[in-house]
Structure 1
Amino acid sequence: MNHTENTPPADGSLRDRTGDEQRSLAATRRNVAFTSMIGTLVEFYDFAIYGVAAALVFPSVFFPALSATAGVLASFATFGVAFVARPIGGALFGHFGDRLGRKRTLVTTLLMMGIATAGVGLLPTPALIGAAAPLILVALRIVQGLAAGGEWAGANLFVTEYAPKDKRGFWATFPQLGATLSFPLANATFLATGLGMDNETFTNYGWRIPFITSAVLVAVGLYVRLKIDETPVFQQELARNGAARMPFLDAFRHQAREIVLAAGVGLTPFAFFYVSGTYLTNYAHGELGLSRTFVLTAGTVSGLMLALGGLVGAAVSDRFGRRAVIGGASVTSAVWALALFPVLSHASGLTFTLALCVTMLLSGIQFAPMGAFLPEQFHTRYRYSASAVSYNLGTVIGGSVSPLIAPSMTKSFGAPAFGVYLAALCLLAAICTFRLRETRMVDLDRLDLDQAEAAPQGH
């Protein structure tokens, strides 16, 4: 069967189509954008509520025998375990996404995330099952990491492979919007859950409610995800060349340089996002003495700034280019990283909230254009694998290592030293961004043909 006869061209163009065809393609594009947004919202909400719980309650719930500092470190270590699993999940689900299609792969990742998240909410404490509790927590966190590793790339491919080339930044905003809205939703859920509860009640069982009720969001996400069709670009690649046998290996064989550089692009947004969601949340509650309610409220407000930054960053990337927006924001973030902890050292509640908002705004401005920038770098034949591996390698360094080393680094050398570390990450991200090519007007179908012709000579 020739799939290209029944699918729109790779650039998603509405030109040379009848009125009915134009309306049908526009409606399909809106549905794809909505389903991608809902899917990433569900996946990243489940990931985000773990981060909030790891900062506020897991040290005392799952590591009661440890000191306060050691408990926080152990809790953040379980948070970081998922980031180690994410590149593995990216390679695994990237393989199936490039061979079997984006849709079936994304349904699997959603189910895995939902089951693991509900499992955390139902997990007995060490008082009931002893050391098995933190071990099971780590196992469930690994499952979350594997699922999240395959989610982002697939959701973004759905949108970018349907979108017209001159508007891919705009359409790629929607999966990022789902991801960014997960942060304020997670904080708001904990805030609403904890209203009327004292700290003891919240620590005993209140924190479990957001995890267990996330099953409702998973059901919604699964319903909308099952209704979407495979992307036309992927169908055309299947019709032209068939499925790749080992897309992961093909990606490294032909575009290893781009994979490494693309991983560096995400260092700043991931570091800012996860440091804000974990370490700064704990810092405000423990060091600044701000109440749990206030910290969660600040997290909700800053999460909305994250979403706003994403909308702005993606929109202007269609006009000025992905590199200019992401790279410029990375340089700006380096300056802000040096100023952040001196600002927080004597922060009031208002100052903390404003600092968190600026940090999240900068993260969003860089994060959203990545939804188009990374997939645009790679051939359709292994785009899922390459995008997923690049994205998740960036999260390991920026999103996992940064919150994990923050408590010990600030204790040993002071908080400004950690700011210097963040600034160095930002500059490295800027260098990686500017080393990649501009992709604002890349034709994905033309890219496939060009790379296929170049492959025998060794890309």
Structure 2
Amino acid sequence: MRSETTAADTQQVPDAQSADGSPETLRRVAVASFIGTAIEFYDFYIYGTAAALVLNQAFFPTLDPVNATLASFSTYAVAFAARPIGSVIFGHFGDRVGRKSVLVASLLLMGLSTALVGLLPGYGTLGVWAPLLLILLRFLQGIGLGGEWGGAALLAVEHAPRKKRGLYAAFPQLGPSVGFFAATGVFWLLSSVLSDDAFRGWGWRVPFLLSFLLVGVGLFVRLRISETPVFAKAMAAREASKAPALDVLRRHPRELLLGAGGMVVAYGLFYTATTYCLAYATGTLDVPRTTMLGLSLVACLFLAAGTWLAATRSDGDGRRKLVLAGAGLSAVWGFVLFPLLDTGQPVLIALALGGALFCMGVVYGPMGAYLPELFGTNVRYSGASLAYNLGGVLGGAVSPLVATRLQAAFGSSSVGWYVSAMAVVSLMCVLALPETRERELT
């Protein structure tokens, strides 16, 4: 009896997954992985939008504007620090108990934590307890999301036929695009119909409260899916790891660190082009809030296009080739992002944001299949989740904070250099990884 599966094993054992699975089953899996990630990323992104627009005043009113914005972004970063912890917790049970039950638990934790933010009184009511409770709820958000992506990606990849893993992994990878579009759209609608006082007083809470409804939808969809055949076979062969996270660190440190490095630019681009640029354009360039939210909606379409194009083409062209192409494009786009943004012209701002998110999508799309394929079945949930979320700490948590400081000290062009530097880091990491599209999963 084996207790662990190495990366090399994944290349040599015949594929036992349900390549001949019924179309109805595959459609149900695609829908479940897509809807779940869309809901959970909606929950995550509404916080980022609120942090850029209103949380500094609601929870940190005693600080000057720059420090209040930094404090707001710091609570935002707390969730990224929590996400690797969530990867360890949910990955442990996902690799030992099953993908399906863990995905239901992560959805509940993420959704309820988000909804409670909408009910949390501000600084004027609770004083210092308000930001402390906000940090706690944000931390719980991060724990929940830390277990979400890996499980959703594995749900799609471990059900899919080998030659279509990129295609089916595209569905959970589209979740962030749709979640961000929905989050931005709700804030745009509220900003359009409410006065500024009403929006800052209570309107910003509505997107958080909607999470109560969305959690119910997500649970209905996810409870109808079955366990993945790849995991079921591993359990039948008694190949479960006793400590999946430790086995990843011991047997797959290279894949873990390089995979995390490959994700850095995707996170960095996204949170620079959305959260930071939203705060920068509305606060420094005096672009109206509704205008920036509308332009962000347009840019999100470019993210979805890049994600779908790269994910589906990765089955034929290879995951590594497309991720490298996306990282190279990102390195170039970093130099034009802020010159376009600083014009203050809506069309050029849309081009700046749309180009950045398209580049991000080209990197991000193939990662839905690439990261899971780097790890064996009995540590795949933990390994893929940890790589994905460690990349988030390095690329997503610090990007708005670093960008705010760089812009204040050296001007907006320095933020573009920072984006390009992250792209080079990811490029070098992926160059050191192998191609995986021909690997078997068991």
TM-score between the two structures when normalised by the length of structure 1: 0.92
Distance in 1 separating the partners of 2:135 and 2:19: 46
| Contact 1:262 1:432 (C-alpha < 8 Å) held by counterparts | yes
Q: Shift of residue 260 of structure 1?
A: 0.5
What is the aligned counterpart of 2:55 among 52, 55, 58?
Answer: 58
2:414 is equivalent to residue 414 of structure 1? no
2:301 is equivalent to residue 288 of structure 1? no
Distance in 2 separating the partners of 1:156 and 1:222: 17
Deviations 1:74-119 (A, max 9, x none): 0000100000000111111101100111111111110001111111
1:11-410 counterparts in 2 under 5 A?
A: 11-14=17-20, 25-410=22-407
Distance in 1 separating the partners of 2:109 and 2:350: 34
The answer for unaligned runs of 5 or more in structure 1 is: 1-7, 15-21, 446-459
| Contact 1:153 1:384 (C-alpha < 8 Å) held by counterparts | yes
Q: Shift of residue 347 of structure 1?
A: 3.0
> Which amino acid in structure 1 is aligned with residue 50 of structure 2?
A
> Which amino acid in structure 2 is aligned with residue 12 of structure 1?
S
- SS of the aligned residue for 2:375 comes to coil
Distance in 2 separating the partners of 1:194 and 1:155: 32
- SS of the aligned residue for 2:121 comes to coil
Deviations 1:309-345 (A, max 9, x none): 1111101111111111001110111011022122222
Distance in 2 separating the partners of 1:158 and 1:10: 15
TM-score between the two structures when normalised by the length of structure 2: 0.95
Deviations 1:208-265 (A, max 9, x none): 0010012111110011111111100001111113421111111111111110000011
- SS of the aligned residue for 2:202 comes to helix
Distance in 2 separating the partners of 1:306 and 1:12: 31
| Contact 2:123 2:129 (C-alpha < 8 Å) held by counterparts | yes
Q: Shift of residue 365 of structure 1?
A: 1.4
- SS of the aligned residue for 1:44 comes to helix
- Cα RMSD between the aligned structures? 1.2
Q: Shift of residue 26 of structure 1?
A: 1.9
Identity of aligned residues (%): 45
> Which amino acid in structure 2 is aligned with residue 145 of structure 1?
G
The answer for unaligned runs of 5 or more in structure 2 is: 1-13
| Contact 1:172 1:372 (C-alpha < 8 Å) held by counterparts | yes
> Which amino acid in structure 1 is aligned with residue 421 of structure 2?
A
| Contact 1:193 1:210 (C-alpha < 8 Å) held by counterparts | no
- Greater shift after overlay, 358-367 or 377-386? 358-367
1:418-437 counterparts in 2 under 5 A?
A: 418-437=415-434
- SS of the aligned residue for 1:241 comes to coil
Q: Shift of residue 194 of structure 1?
A: 2.5
Deviations 1:41-92 (A, max 9, x none): 1100000100000000111111111111111100000100000000111111
Distance in 1 separating the partners of 2:209 and 2:93: 29
| Contact 1:338 1:420 (C-alpha < 8 Å) held by counterparts | yes
| Contact 2:15 2:441 (C-alpha < 8 Å) held by counterparts | no
